[in-house]
Amino acid sequence: MREPRWLPWARWAGLGLLGLFTLTPLYVMLTSAMKPLRDVQGDFQWIPTTITLRPFADMWRTVPLARYFANSLIVASVAALVSVLIAIFAAYAISRFRFPGRRIFSVTVLSTQMFPGILFLLPLFMIYVNLGTALGVELYASRTGLIITYLTFSLPFSIWMLAGYFDSIPTALDEAAQVDGSGPVGALLRVVLPAATPGIVAVAIYAFMTAWGEVLFASVMTDETSRTLAVGLQGYATENDVYWNQIMAASLVVSVPVVAGFLLLQRYLVQGLTAGAVK
């Protein structure tokens, strides 16, 4: 198929502008993280005059970043793991069974996605406080509470995406496994799961990213010991100084795990999205 002669020019102009818009903040994040404090407080410099790695060392002392980091890591990993597990079972039920209540379940779960978080923030806060007292489990201001909250945030999208993914796997595969003597759950574990690995990986990344980046509930449902990065990073702005170089360094460091994971596995995410979005 012939491309018009202007297309390569338009392509580079268009993609160049998009690239400039997308990458400028990332460039600033990277370079400002290596500037001394006086250079980020004065006039902006495109090219740093003094390069230092001090901010990367100082940022751990200005705020207890290591603790926030560990909290975020625990919360996001556990939430992603449990969310994926639960989503696999629910999506399999939706994809392979026709049962009364199936439609209500899928519509209700999906529609929770549109709820404004602010609507259930206050009641959830109250439920966690009361449930915690009643059961003797600390839910409010604890990582457990955050994990439970976050895993439900990614659950609707995960179920929807995985159900779409399972639909694209021929039922003949499950039937072969069942003829072979596996029950439905055996068929899920032995045949469907291996075939759906890309979708499952995509959902796990999505769930991890959701939990890693959430701000609203983290700002209300944590205290100093359970604080995550989302709230912790705001600690660099003190009354006297805003340590912009350390903020940029910390932003860079907390972004690396998610961005690296996302970029390594984005192929699967696109496949998963395609299966989910096009059905």
**Between residue 45 and residue 84, which ones bind another protein under the rule CB under 8 A?**
46
Contacts with another protein by CB under 8 A: the residue count is 114
* Cβ 154 vs Cβ 214: under 8 Å: no
Interface positions, 189-228, toward another protein (CB under 8 A)? 209, 212-216, 219
Residues 6 or more apart whose Cβ sits within 8 Å of residue 55: 33, 34, 35, 243, 245, 246, 248, 249
* 23 near another protein, judged by CB under 8 A: yes
Residue 200 vs 254, nearer CB to another protein: 254
Report the number of secondary-structure helices (H) and strands (E) in the chain: 14, 0
Q: Give the one residue of 49, 135, 181, 223 binding another protein; rule: CB under 8 A.
A: 181
Residue 113 vs 197, nearer CB to another protein: 113
**Contact region with another protein (CB under 8 A), list: 53-61, 63-71, 100-108, 193-201:** 100-108
* 240 near another protein, judged by CB under 8 A: no
Helix 244-278 and helix 197-213: axis angle, to 10°? 140
Interface positions, 112-151, toward another protein (CB under 8 A)? 112-124, 126-127, 148-149, 151
The neighbour count for residue 277, using CB atoms within 10 Å, is 10
**Torsions phi, psi of 237, nearest 5?**
-90, 100
Minimum CB separation from another protein for residue 193, in Å?
A: 13
Residues 6 or more apart whose Cβ sits within 8 Å of residue 213: 230, 258
